[in-house]
Amino acid sequence: SGDSEPTVRVGSKKFTESVILGEMVTQLARSTGARVEHRRELGGTTVLWEALRRGELDIYPEYTGTLRQELLSGRNLADDGALRTALAAEGLRLSAPLGFNNTYALGMKEAEAEKLGIRRISDLLAHPELRFGFSNEFMDRADGWPALRDRYRLPQKDVRGLDHDLAYRGLESGAIQVTDLYSTDAEIAAYGLRVLEDDLHHFPVYDAVLLYRADLESRAPEALAAMLRLGGRLSEAQMVKLNARARLERVPEAQVAADFLASSLGIS
């Protein structure tokens, strides 16, 4: 790599929380003087994973459940050590958990769920006419719609894929009645949505982590140490608030990240 190559290449997935976390990591690495590039909203989970493995990225925010159920599915990686060992074989490492779980969940408008008597995902069996709209990635992930449908024997046929950021407006307009929520989305409270109980425990825990190439340890040790300071620093309530600033108040992700780093880690 020549002089024009940045030392650290950060990636983020195409949704707000991932971009905020990518910005935090970027700014932390920059605070050590490193040259850092953030490839924002690069794509879905598979795109980020492949770019990291090819060496086109050095680090991006990921979730433990996504590693276990989707990226490394089919192996028994239930305990932490097994997951870390499987990643090490790919030249990859995991940070400490950042401190929050962002799980998938199914959601409906509160009033509609109440009227139909739906509290649990199992309750959807009695309502085959409901219109489902799922984020595109959820439509074909190993932990997504096909597996959820099989687990619960859900009968719905009106099921479409859509951009996650459009799902909430779809619920508002009535175009769809059920969608996959990300549990740290600020819209859940803002739109008054009911989160259905996953009574058969389909979804695993999705602890947020940083996933990075092991070679960063020798290539950019100071930048890496700075980025790893994010471990344990974000509660679920905190992440929901940060998502709310970006999504509901339309504050740019870089600003949301900068304000958080200044107030929580004293970095400016």
User: Of 170-209, which residues contact ligand PBE (CB under 6 A)?
Assistant: 182, 206
104 versus 260: smaller Cβ distance to ligand PBE? 104
Q: Looking at beta carbons only, is 104 or 132 nearer to ligand PBE?
A: 104
- Rounded distance, CA 206 to CA 100, Å? 8
Nearest-CB residue to ligand PBE? 66
Separation CA 175–CA 30 (nearest Å): 44
Nearer to ligand PBE, 6 or 44 (CB): 44
- Rounded alpha-carbon distances, angstroms, from residue 205 to 40, 45, 103, 233: 25, 16, 6, 18
> Which tokens belong to 248?
């509901």
- Of 96 and 267, nearer to ligand PBE (C-beta) is 96
Q: How far is the CB of 96 from ligand PBE (least distance, A)?
A: 18
* Residue number, 193 or 226, with CB nearest to ligand PBE: 193
Distance of closest approach, residue 247 Cβ to ligand PBE, in angstroms:
14
Query: C-beta of 126: minimal distance to ligand PBE in Å?
Result: 27
Compute the least distance from the CB of residue 66 to ligand PBE, in Å: 4
From the CB of 267, what's the least distance to ligand PBE, in Å? 25
Confirm or reject binding of residue 132 to ligand PBE (CB under 6 A).
no
Site for ligand PBE in 42-81 (CB under 6 A): 45, 63, 65-66
* Of positions 12, 27, 95, 102, contacts ligand PBE by CB under 6 A: 102
Residue 109 token pair:
């408008």
Q: Could you give the string, one character per residue 11-30, with x where binding to ligand PBE holds by CB under 6 A and - elsewhere?
A: --x-----------------
Locate 205 and state its tokens: 């825990």
How far apart CA 41 and CA 61 sit, in angstroms, is 12
Residue with tokens 């859900």: 154
Give whichever of 7 and 164 is closer to ligand PBE, judged by the CB atom.
164
Number of residues binding to ligand PBE, judged by CB under 6 A? 9
Among positions 234-253, residues that touch ligand PBE (CB under 6 A) are: none
Q: Minimum distance from CB of 69 to ligand PBE (Å)?
A: 9
For the four alpha carbons of 204, 205, 206 and 209, in that order, the dihedral sign comes to negative
Taking a C-beta distance cutoff of 8 angstroms, is the pair 83, 71 a contact? Answer: no
User: What is the spatial distance between Cα 250 and Cα 36, in angstroms, rounded to a whole number?
Assistant: 25
> How near is the Cβ of 102 to ligand PBE at its closest, in Å?
4
- The contact set with ligand PBE (CB under 6 A) reads 13, 45, 63, 65-66, 102, 104, 182, 206
